[in-house]
Chains A and B, each alone.
Chain A
Amino acid sequence: MQIFVNTNYDFIKWRMAAVVFSLVWILVGAAFYLKNGINWGIDFAGGANIVLKFKDKVPMDKLRADLGDASIQQYGKPEENSALIRLPQLGREGDYAGATVAKLVKDLNPESADPNKVDLNYHGRDRIFDLLFTADPDARGTNDAAKKYYADMAQNIINKRSELGLFTNMSQVSSVPGVTANDSRVINQRAYPGAFNVLNQETVGPQVGRELQMKAIWAVILSTLAMGAYLWLRFDLMFGFSAIVCIVHDVLVSLAFLFMIRGEFSLNIVAALLLVVGYSINDTVVTYDRVRENRRKLKQRMTLEEQLNLGVNQTLSRTILTSGSVVIVLIALIIFGGKVIHEFAWILLIGVLAGTYSTVTIVPAVAIAWNNLTGRKHDISGPARSARVEEPRNEAPAPRKRKAV
């Protein structure tokens, strides 16, 4: 099977339309940004995120009444009985999520008034072990073997909890392998399945949030510049510059998309943007490599416009296919990858598509503009000069002898 063999589309003709399209896209994104601002995630804004899984329906009203300034949403499908609680930043450091969870444990579980009672959905293995070992329902004594016996039982109970998500009734505890009737009687007396289990809790203090913001911005800017510098060394100044414009374009298009879907700006999004910086440039490299190869080989007079069109068409199937393979994978991640990497995969997908699109439209547009401004030095003037086509004119070391695709 083959696609796009010997094509001869005139991409260059459409470049201005493409520039306008990209600008409109980015401006729409900017409008969303101006309207809504950036939806900073907890990583950057600071504050706390807590995900709780409840035994029964999420007690929204109770939670709202209990946690004044928190935003509380359903997490996942309604039948999962889970809620995401987001607390705004307090402006001071501290274990914010932990304190809130402790408060909720107290408020939602009347049994917690007795500090000696164990909440099977909140407390850990050691508490359960302690309860069993102290009560010793199976009369094992206090030797090391007894310790191990009850420690294993406690571990089994915790494993069961991880498997189920949380205990909804005590019979689930009784059915844990190794738990005898005596054990369950003691557990019934001294423990209870609390209203919820903590799936996830995060606190990011103001200091860490601020630092991460700065780090994220610098990482994106510096990696873009590093990429431009690398390509300048390998090719020439015009291409290095075009590549930077292309990367900035791809990042802005991805960001604009994030603003349009009102996605949360998280660490994962920055990871996706950094990857867009490194990956979306790949097909641009492939295409320009071919343009340079042609310049060495071609004997006839050719403007830069014609050279670019030829190169883009010759490498078109490669450009589409290489992006295609990553797009296949990203679509799988978007559909099946789960909540945590959903937005990450979306941003990457848009970035990769933008990268391919900008390779055939934006990069030529910038290169042609550059060429026009610098006296059309990148045109091939004719057979007379073709023996020694100009190599990069900058001070950088000439590229090693190599053949291009």
Chain B
Amino acid sequence: MNRNVIWKVVLILAVLVVFIVAIIPTANNPEPIKRGLDLKGGTHLVMRVNVGDAVRLETDQAAETLKTQAQKLNLPSVTTRRVNDSTFLAVVPAGVSTADYEKIAKDFLGAYDVSRTPEGALQFKMKTASLTAIERDTIEHAVETIRNRVDALGVTEPIIAPESGNRIVIQLPGVDDPARVKDIIKTTAVLQFRLVEGSTGADAATTLASVPENMKSEVDILPGTREDELGRPVGVEYYAIRKVVPVTGTDLKSARVQKGQLGQPNVGMSFTPDGARKFGALTGANVGRRLAIVLDNKVMSAPNIKSKIEDQGVIEGQFTQQQAADLALVLRSGSLPASLTTLEERTVGPSLGRDSIRQGVLASLIGFIALIAAVLLYYHGAGINAVLALLLNLVILLGMMAYFKATLTLPGIAGIILTLGMAVDSNVLVFERIREELRDGKTVRAAIEQGFSRAFGTIIDTHMTTIISALFLFQFGTGPIKGFAVTLLIGLFASVFTAFFVSRVIFDVVYKPEDRPSTISI
């Protein structure tokens, strides 16, 4: 045999070995080809991060800063009003110069452009650069927090990736309780410790009426659960809660589920050293008053402060064991910087995935066997050649998917078998050309040579057109469709190699030029 041919055979065998190794499951890698969510079961979520929340918070804080600094400098106090998420107005009392306030803005509020409205108020508008920075930070922070939570849930190989348009794509394979997971991801978990004013009432107006006149503008009215003497929920009541937030969830060191006096679950927490100092100062100065524990703008409980507390605290509420565990989890993983809105959700239960695999594989096997039968029937000896090329194509396709960590989806399974159908096309092009050359009276070797070289351009063209559409498919598609496009692309490249190179080598080995073959089974 020609040395050149021997080297080619060696190359083909090497390729075969390399890709077979890639697809054999091992102890470390029991699933060499990853199944997509549609086959494995799991949840795909697209969430929008409402970055406006974070911007609004920033703006509120800026307004607060302006007031406190003015107070420090003994300037007459201003009233502020937020116009939109990134803009607020400060109305300076009549007859007072705005220059001092503008100086505060220059020193402390660098993120805002200050201008004067026709009415003489100062308008603070967040600079575009700051706005973009906040939005970027918010998304990053949200991704980080969601990752912490998902990791704490023990989801294996999650994907959490930011996308354009303030979106986050979350893929959670194998999730078996999507409702709970979504709740955990979406909980903002902003925990605050704030003092209660006045008394609670059955509606917001009653509660507000109980607040002293001078404090009315300093409180928020927030809902909480009304409980009877036995601690059972019996309705809603409203609290007047001070706007000032002395201690927040960021001051927590850890949170865990524990049992209350009656055996009901609650969440125990401990503070960081800094948090403990703040909490100590707050409780020490307000013994006898009520302290509200506010979670996501709902009052969880509002116990009386009996003495100064420094390092420990308890959140009580109407929790089931699971709810308490989930709350502890979200508190540990930190609060989200902004709320999330679900734009898209696709959840496939594991049993549906199982059915899909069974049907997909069955259809593919039957298609594959039919294809092999047709090729053998039509091309006899050369058909064996085509079948070998096809098998190698399958091995390369699966092996490449394993190497590239491409995911196998249900359309992807269809893609594999479709690719094999297309790979046969290339063999057909070559074989038909060889037959034609034979009819023209060429020798077997000449017909093989001519068949391959003349079919080459056509094979490239037909592959190029399909590759172009596969690229558009990839660009367009989501999840399963992308998996399909990837399978198709890999398969197309593999089929150029097998139909053109491998098939040729097989002919060269079977019909050696030095034997001067006079017949060919085709």
Contact = CB atoms under 8 A, between A and B. Distances in A.
Contact of A329 (B325, B362, B420, B457): B420
Nearest to A166: B351
B428 to A, nearest CB: 5
B424 A162 contact: no
A216 interface: yes
Interface string B474-488: 011110110011001
B428 A322 contact: yes
A203 interface: yes
Interface string A296-332: 0000000000000000001001100110111011111
A403 B460 CA distance: 12
A81 to B, nearest CB: 13
**B41, B421, B480 — most chain A CB neighbours (10 Å):** B421
B410 to A, nearest CB: 6
B425 A202 contact: no
B347 A198 contact: yes
A321 B458 contact: no
Contacts of B465: 227, 230-231, 278-279, 281-282, 285
Given A94-B341, A219-B472, A329-B371, A134 B179 contact: no
B355 interface: yes
Contacts of A102: 179
B179 A289 contact: no
B342 A165 contact: no
Contacts of B217: none
B309 interface: no
B346 A130 contact: no
Contacts of A222: 472
A65 interface: no
30 contacts: A98-B345, A115-B320, A124-B175, A124-B176, A125-B177, A158-B176, A166-B351, A200-B347, A201-B178, A201-B347, A231-B465, A270-B476, A278-B466, A278-B468, A279-B422, A282-B425, A282-B466, A318-B429, A325-B421, A328-B370, A331-B370, A333-B363, A333-B417, A335-B366, A344-B414, A348-B418, A403-B457, A404-B454, A404-B457, A405-B429
A130 B380 CA distance: 63
A50 B221 CA distance: 39
A66 interface: no
Nearest to B478: A267
Contact of A332 (B182, B320, B363): B363
A163 interface: yes
A271 B473 contact: yes
B351 A336 contact: no
Interface string A258-285: 0000000001101100110111011001
Interface stretch (A170-178, A181-189, A204-212, A371-379): A204-212
A286 B410 contact: no
A144 to B, nearest CB: 14
B374 interface: yes
B24 interface: no
Interface in A82-103: 93-95, 97-98, 101-102
A199 interface: yes
Contacts of B477: 267, 271
A15 interface: no
B344 A332 contact: no
B268 interface: no
B351 A165 contact: yes
Contacts of B435: 2
Interface residues of A, number: 92
A199 B457 CA distance: 48
B363 A208 contact: no
B106 interface: no
B457 A321 contact: no
B476 A216 contact: yes
A152 to B, nearest CB: 13
Pick the 6 closest A-B CB pairs, nearest first: A278-B469, A124-B177, A332-B367, A338-B359, A336-B363, A124-B176
Contacts of B458: 285-286, 289, 404-405
B319 to A, nearest CB: 9
A271 B481 CA distance: 7
A194 to B, nearest CB: 13
A199 B352 CA distance: 6
Nearest to A1: B378
Interface of B: 38, 41, 46, 48, 153, 175-180, 182, 320-322, 325, 341-352, 354-356, 359-360, 362-364, 366-368, 370-371, 374-375, 377-378, 380, 410-411, 414, 417-418, 420-422, 424-425, 428-429, 432-433, 435-436, 439, 453-458, 461-462, 464-470, 472-473, 475-478, 480-481, 484-485, 488
Given A98-B178, A332-B363, A403 B454 contact: yes
A205 B343 contact: yes
Given A198-B347, A207-B343, A212-B478, 6 more contacts: A124-B175, A127-B322, A202-B346, A286-B429, A322-B429, A332-B367
A51 interface: yes
A286 B462 contact: yes
A275 B363 contact: no
Given A207-B343, A215-B476, A271-B481, A333 B178 contact: no
Contacts of A333: 363-364, 367, 414, 417-418
Contact of A95 (B342, B466, B473): B342
Nearest to B369: A332
B322 A226 contact: no
B177 A123 contact: yes
A325 B473 contact: no
B344 A203 contact: yes
Interface string A119-130: 000111111001
Contact of A336 (B366, B433, B461): B366
Contacts of A404: 454, 457-458
Given A115-B320, A405-B455, A199 B176 contact: no
A276 to B, nearest CB: 8
Nearest to B457: A402
A217 to B, nearest CB: 10
A345 interface: yes
B414 A337 contact: yes
A116 interface: yes
Contact of B351 (A163, A275, A340): A163
A258 B453 CA distance: 40
A134 B320 CA distance: 12
B354 A162 contact: yes
Contacts of B343: 93, 205, 207-208
A345 B484 CA distance: 13
Nearest to A321: B428
Contacts of B153: 126
**A97, A212, A223, A405 — most chain B CB neighbours (10 Å):** A405
B476 A274 contact: yes
Contacts of A130: 321-322, 325
B286 to A, nearest CB: 34
B168 to A, nearest CB: 13
A134 B464 CA distance: 61
A341 B411 contact: yes
B366 to A, nearest CB: 5
Contact of B472 (A212, A223, A279, A328): A223
